[in-house]
């Protein structure tokens, strides 16, 4: 059980304070400052400022939407809420590193819900499905759009646009947050069970995530084509929302790959006498009291357990 205790140690406390048990060559435990220190404070301060700016902009835009969008103001509020939610989730992952998977799940779900409400907003802006069909009388439903705009998707039929088609488009978009939520519940369950199980099986969930997202993108692109036939121009707003989804994926990818590519220089921003005390305190307390400090006992238990396993093998 000793290795399990070390793995489940309070990483947030060590991350903030910069104190981490570390075994030396003589199998004794020293406590070494390894936190980001000044890098971390600058990074957290800049991230908090960005979060505050995003929340302030959201409040101002929602006030304006309530005055000018009427019945569609709810959809506008949901779409605009994507940006502060993603910002807060990213800040949470920055301050508490072990919540990175939870942050990714929250961000992904927020973007997918925003995508569904964006569809509702576009349809409401055009006056509803029936009014949109009347304004585009005789138009075809463009099914050969991204991501189904290449061979063999060019054989997809292009039926005449009817109100019932918008129910199908709604279902294509509504499945995205539902399926994404179920997938991330499974991923979080694997992460809670064992990190190694999560890392070895995470890649198998990606085809399901991609298929769900691409299906939703296909549905919203067909809706945009139908709306553009009435003279509306919603594509720029859609690109802004899609950019948030790209940022979420890029951020999570960087968080997974950056630690394997580089490392920050360790800063000893302590007085030399304090650093010496970190190295000598375990042995001194052992002579005086007959016991070791708690971090030292935990790490020595882990070292002894590891050595015992090697001997048995």
Count of structural domains, the chain? 1
Domain with 170, as residue range(s), is 38-261
Distances (CA, A) of 162 to 69, 155, 165, 233: 26, 20, 6, 21
Tell me if 113 is assigned to some domain: yes
Average pLDDT (13-21) is 49
Tell me if 25 is assigned to some domain: no
Tell me if 6 is assigned to some domain: no
Tell me if 168 is assigned to some domain: yes
Tell me if 132 is assigned to some domain: yes
H-helix segments, the chain: 2-7, 11-17, 38-68, 73-80, 82-95, 100-125, 129-135, 163-193, 195-228, 235-261, 272-289, 294-312
pLDDT digits over 170-184, tens only?
999 999 999 999 999
pLDDT digits over 47-84, tens only?
899 999 999 999 998 888 888 877 788 888 999 999 89
Tell me if 293 is assigned to some domain: no
Q: Which of 262, 302, 274, 308 is nearest to 21 (CA)?
A: 302
Tell me if 141 is assigned to some domain: yes
pLDDT digits over 259-303, tens only?
667 665 555 455 555 555 555 555 555 556 655 444 444 444 444
Tell me if 278 is assigned to some domain: no
Band (pLDDT 50/70/90 cuts) for residue 239 is confident
């Amino acid at each position: 059980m000793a290795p399990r205790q070390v793995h489940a140690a309070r990483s947030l406390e060590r991350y903030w304070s910069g104190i981490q048990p570390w075994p030396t060559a003589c199998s004794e435990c020293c406590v070494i400052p390894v936190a980001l220190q000044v890098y971390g404070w600058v990074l957290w301060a800049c991230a908090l400022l960005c979060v505050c700016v995003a929340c302030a902009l959201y409040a101002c835009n929602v006030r304006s939407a309530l005055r000018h969008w009427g019945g569609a103001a709810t959809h506008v509020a949901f779409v605009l809420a994507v940006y502060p939610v993603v910002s807060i989730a990213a800040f949470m992952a920055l301050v508490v590193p072990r919540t990175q998977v939870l942050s990714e799940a929250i961000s992904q779900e927020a973007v997918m819900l925003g995508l569904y409400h964006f569809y509702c907003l576009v349809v409401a802006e055009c006056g509803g499905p029936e009014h949109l069909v009347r304004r585009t009388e005789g138009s075809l439903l463009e099914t050969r759009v991204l991501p189904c705009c290449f061979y063999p998707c060019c054989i997809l039929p292009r039926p005449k646009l009817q109100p019932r088609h918008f129910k199908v488009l709604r279902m294509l978009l509504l499945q995205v947050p539902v399926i994404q939520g179920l997938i991330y519940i499974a991923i979080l369950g694997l992460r809670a069970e064992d990190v190694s199980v999560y890392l070895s099986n995470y890649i198998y969930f990606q085809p399901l995530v991609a298929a769900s997202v691409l299906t939703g993108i296909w549905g919203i692109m067909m809706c945009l084509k139908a709306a553009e036939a009435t003279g509306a121009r919603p594509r720029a707003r859609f690109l802004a929302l899609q950019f948030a989804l790209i940022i979420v994926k890029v951020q999570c990818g960087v968080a997974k790959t950056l630690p394997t590519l580089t490392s920050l220089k360790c800063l000893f921003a302590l007085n030399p006498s304090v650093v010496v005390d970190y190295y000598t305190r375990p042995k001194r307390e052992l002579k005086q009291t007959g016991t070791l400090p708690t971090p030292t006992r935990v790490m020595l238990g882990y070292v002894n357990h590891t050595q015992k396993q090697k001997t048995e093998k």
